[in-house]
Amino acid sequence: MASGKPASGEDSLIARYFRPLATDPGAFNLDDDAAGLKPNGDDIVVTTDAIIEGVHFLADDPPDTVARKALRVNLSDLAAKGATPAGFVLTLALRRADEGWLKPFAAALGEDAALFGCPLLGGDTVSTPGPLMISVTAFGRVPPGKMVHRSGAKPGERVMVTGTIGDATLGLAILKGGKIHAATDTAAREILVGRYRVPQPRLTLAEIVREYASASMDVSDGLAGDLTKLCGVSGVSAVIGLEQVPLSDAARGLVSRGIVGPETLIAGGDDYEILCTIPEGRVEAFEAAAQRAGVALSSIGTIVAGSSVPKFVGKEGKEIALERLSYSHF
Amino acid sequence: MASGKPASGEDSLIARYFRPLATDPGAFNLDDDAAGLKPNGDDIVVTTDAIIEGVHFLADDPPDTVARKALRVNLSDLAAKGATPAGFVLTLALRRADEGWLKPFAAALGEDAALFGCPLLGGDTVSTPGPLMISVTAFGRVPPGKMVHRSGAKPGERVMVTGTIGDATLGLAILKGGKIHAATDTAAREILVGRYRVPQPRLTLAEIVREYASASMDVSDGLAGDLTKLCGVSGVSAVIGLEQVPLSDAARGLVSRGIVGPETLIAGGDDYEILCTIPEGRVEAFEAAAQRAGVALSSIGTIVAGSSVPKFVGKEGKEIALERLSYSHF
């Protein structure tokens, strides 16, 4: 995203829309080939996630929500790893320099960068004949060795999740029309679509996760599949109470009316909540800390020994068979 | 690029092709949401560049050259900044999981990562309905405050460039057929196409640039335009001798036969050479150090006071008018 004297369309575009965001000294005013991250003794946590038009967002999603989603899906990873944001770089692949799209995109990106304390450090703007693509690499800091991994879950520990699960997959279904759209009123649609378009990264929980969680990840591809990954890497299994999985009022209404099954919600993607495991003796203190941070938290099950796929158990203790665990790109 | 127990096509693809590359402890075996960069007191230099099918490489370019180009265009930035590679993250947007393409792609990426000491730390693999896209964010290290910027050039300093200029733009012209293809023999075509497909990052010069250069950048969008950017940010201008711009034998042959003009070569992109400015009293020592490092170096002109676009002067001291300075995406 370097640009000196505006000598081309690309450079003037960067100067106009992105330079105002590059307030961090490490961005070098976007006047260089590279950005700088100063050491402060902390480990640097690096995460990268791209969103693509037609895959991760829809062609008619508003540009401001696209910007927020691109940054927030990365901030969600940092939060789950217990990291404090330090900055991000952006790769933007555009079909054309459409200022009507770029202006609100950059404005919202700048707002979120300020809101979450994660400044734009640099980037690359390129043309593409294909769908819009926004790739973000975000950096966070943790004290040495303190990044929270997926691999630390142990039998007997509590499985906990923030917020509510399944709203984003319902929001996407509403945007595509069909039975979920028909079965929801305007207020519910607005909430669910908002959850699909603009995730809420749980950064206020980052330090608390670092203090209490034995393992943690963000739920991005579906709760069932992501828990399966966490268990696989930790060498454990889990038993989850389907009734304990937190649902929004809108989602609960659709389930109670039989419009969607809970298995659709726990296999749907785009939740961007934190899934973590907590040693039993520390659950109460973790819950209290989360409450002080203003983040809703639910206890959904227990880690058990074994290597099988986690069990999701319904009302009468009956195991629910899941046709698919999560979203996969291939 | 995290994957626990292979639960989907995406995960097994990552496990098969990319996990073998993730040998650095900071990659956490690609089993996590994020990678780690350990502090060692150095500043971290961050650069990001994406390459897109049909824009930065051609649909029928071999997968191994696409992998090398994706990484090397970023390594070239690190070299120009005086940084030693520390690792990279990769975002790969694919239409489908084509193993015949992925296998040689990943193998070549691993070879280059080992060759340049820049390990894969993590990434994201996503599907796209559009062109292939490979976005790399690479990290390097420099002693605190020692990153070489574009902004340090001062009047009286020498303008120097590594390697040869214009070969890659000729290579691209050959791949598109037409008069350059018709005017070259097989050997010349192979050299020029190779320069387009597989850049040579000048990493052996990184520490030397850090020691001697007042300003530096990599030439990626065309020598004329990139020098214009460097001068713009430094608040200076330059006078360049067109005859002193280093050309390969193949390029020189085409110029001498009138097939292409030198202005095409200095406005063409994809050179991935280092362009830097050196205080006059240090030029000799810089040249000697570059020679010991085995990197060809040419002195092409002088930084002068002023804010005009750099002048390119031909044989009889006549200024060459450039219709365009460089490649721009928009």
Contact B54 A131 (CB under 8 A): no
By C-alpha distance, the chain B residue nearest A43 is B38
**Which pLDDT score, from 0 to 100, does residue A264 have?**
92
pLDDT mean across residues, chain A: 93
Beta strands in chain A (DSSP E): 35-37, 43-52, 84-94, 120-127, 133-142, 158-162, 215-219, 237-241, 273-278, 297-304, 311-313
Question: Predicted confidence band at B316 (pLDDT cuts at 50, 70, 90)?
Answer: confident
Residues facing B238 on adjacent strands: B303
B48-56 mean pLDDT:
94
| A48 vs B contacts (CB less than 8 Å) | 89-91, 122-124, 135, 137
Cα B325 vs. chain centroid, distance in angstroms?
Answer: 18
Q: Tell me if residue B139 falls in helix, strand or coil.
A: strand
**Which pLDDT score, from 0 to 100, does residue A189 have?**
96
A10 touches B at CB < 8 Å: yes
- Separation CA B83–CA B75 (nearest Å): 9
The one-letter amino acid code at A83 reads: A
Question: Predicted confidence band at A329 (pLDDT cuts at 50, 70, 90)?
Answer: low
Question: Predicted confidence band at A8 (pLDDT cuts at 50, 70, 90)?
Answer: low
Least confident of A309-323, B87-101, B278-292: A309-323
Residue pair B98/B5 in contact (Cβ under 8 Å)? The answer is no
Question: Predicted confidence band at A15 (pLDDT cuts at 50, 70, 90)?
Answer: confident
B135 touches A at CB < 8 Å: yes
Residue pair B135/B48 in contact (Cβ under 8 Å)? The answer is yes
**Which pLDDT score, from 0 to 100, does residue B11 have?**
75
**Which pLDDT score, from 0 to 100, does residue B61 have?**
94
A99-115 mean pLDDT:
96
Least confident of A20-29, B155-164, B197-206: A20-29
Contact A46 B36 (CB under 8 A): yes
pLDDT above 60 for B2: no
A323 touches B at CB < 8 Å: no
Q: What is the pLDDT of residues B141-189, one digit of tens each?
A: 999 999 999 999 999 999 999 999 999 999 999 999 989 999 999 999 9
pLDDT mean across residues, chain B: 93
- Separation CA B315–CA B243 (nearest Å): 7
Contact A46 B35 (CB under 8 A): yes
The one-letter amino acid code at B190 reads: E
Contact B50 A330 (CB under 8 A): no
Supply the DSSP symbol for B149.
Answer: P
Those residues with Cβ within 8 angstroms of residue A276's Cβ, 6 or more apart along the chain or in another chain: A80, A148, A159, A160, A161, A209, A212, A213, A214, A215, A216, A217
- Separation CA A57–CA A60 (nearest Å): 8
- Separation CA B241–CA B45 (nearest Å): 32
Report percent pLDDT > 90 for chain B.
Answer: 84
| CB-count exposure of residue B310 (10 Å: 0-12, 13-18, 19+) | buried
B301-326 mean pLDDT:
88
**Which pLDDT score, from 0 to 100, does residue B329 have?**
63
pLDDT above 50 for A7: no
Q: What CATH number labels A9-142?
A: 3.30.1330.10
Nearest to B273 by CA among B159, B186, B178, B177: B159
**Dihedral angle sign, alpha carbons of residues A189, A191, A194, A199:** negative
pLDDT above 90 for B27: yes
- Separation CA B198–CA B180 (nearest Å): 19
Nearest to B65 by CA among B165, B194, B154: B194
- A304: its two tokens: 């058990």
* Residues of the binding site of B: 33, 47-49, 56, 77, 123-124, 150, 218, 220-221, 270, 327
Task: Find the DSSP H helices in chain B.
Answer: 9-13, 63-80, 99-115, 167-175, 179-182, 186-197, 206-212, 223-234, 249-256, 262-267, 283-293
- DSSP for A198-233 reads S----GGGHHHHHHH-SEEEEE-S-HHHHHHHHHHH
Q: What is the pLDDT of residues B30-39, one digit of tens each?
A: 999 999 998 8
Residue pair B13/B94 in contact (Cβ under 8 Å)? The answer is no
| B96 vs A contacts (CB less than 8 Å) | 330
A49 touches B at CB < 8 Å: yes
Question: Predicted confidence band at B6 (pLDDT cuts at 50, 70, 90)?
Answer: very low
Report percent pLDDT > 70 for chain B.
Answer: 96
Name the packing angle between helices A186-197 and A63-80 (round to 10°): 60
Name the packing angle between helices A186-197 and A249-256 (round to 10°): 120
B270-275 mean pLDDT:
97
Question: Predicted confidence band at A2 (pLDDT cuts at 50, 70, 90)?
Answer: very low
- Helix and strand numbers (H, E) in chain A are 11, 11
**Which pLDDT score, from 0 to 100, does residue A5 have?**
35
| A121 vs B contacts (CB less than 8 Å) | 46
- Separation CA A187–CA A221 (nearest Å): 26
Contact A151 B31 (CB under 8 A): yes
Q: What is the pLDDT of residues B67-85, one digit of tens each?
A: 999 999 999 999 999 999 9
- Pair type for strands B120-127 and B84-94: parallel
By C-alpha distance, the chain B residue nearest A220 is B33
Q: What is the pLDDT of residues B242-259, one digit of tens each?
A: 999 999 999 999 999 999
A37-52 mean pLDDT:
94
Q: What are phi and psi of B305, to 5 degrees?
A: -70, 155
**Which pLDDT score, from 0 to 100, does residue B97 have?**
85
Residue pair A225/B8 in contact (Cβ under 8 Å)? The answer is yes
Q: Which of B34, B44, B231 sits opposite A147 (nearest CB)?
A: B34
The one-letter amino acid code at B239 reads: V
Q: Indicate the helix (H) or strand (E) that contains A86.
A: strand A84-94
Least confident of A231-235, B11-15, B173-177, B311-315: B11-15
Contact A129 B96 (CB under 8 A): no
pLDDT above 90 for A145: yes
**Which pLDDT score, from 0 to 100, does residue A328 have?**
67
Q: What is the pLDDT of residues A269-289, one digit of tens each?
A: 899 999 999 999 999 999 999
Domain ranges of chain A: 9-142, 158-313
Say whether domain A158-313 belongs to CATH 3.90.550.10: no
Q: Sheet with A215-219: list strands edge to edge.
A: A215-219, A273-278, A158-162, A297-304, A237-241, A311-313
pLDDT above 50 for A129: yes
Question: Predicted confidence band at B4 (pLDDT cuts at 50, 70, 90)?
Answer: very low
Q: What is the pLDDT of residues B206-249, one digit of tens each?
A: 999 999 999 999 999 999 999 999 999 999 999 999 999 999 99
- Separation CA A91–CA A122 (nearest Å): 9
Q: Tell me if residue A295 falls in helix, strand or coil.
A: coil
Residue pair A272/A218 in contact (Cβ under 8 Å)? The answer is yes
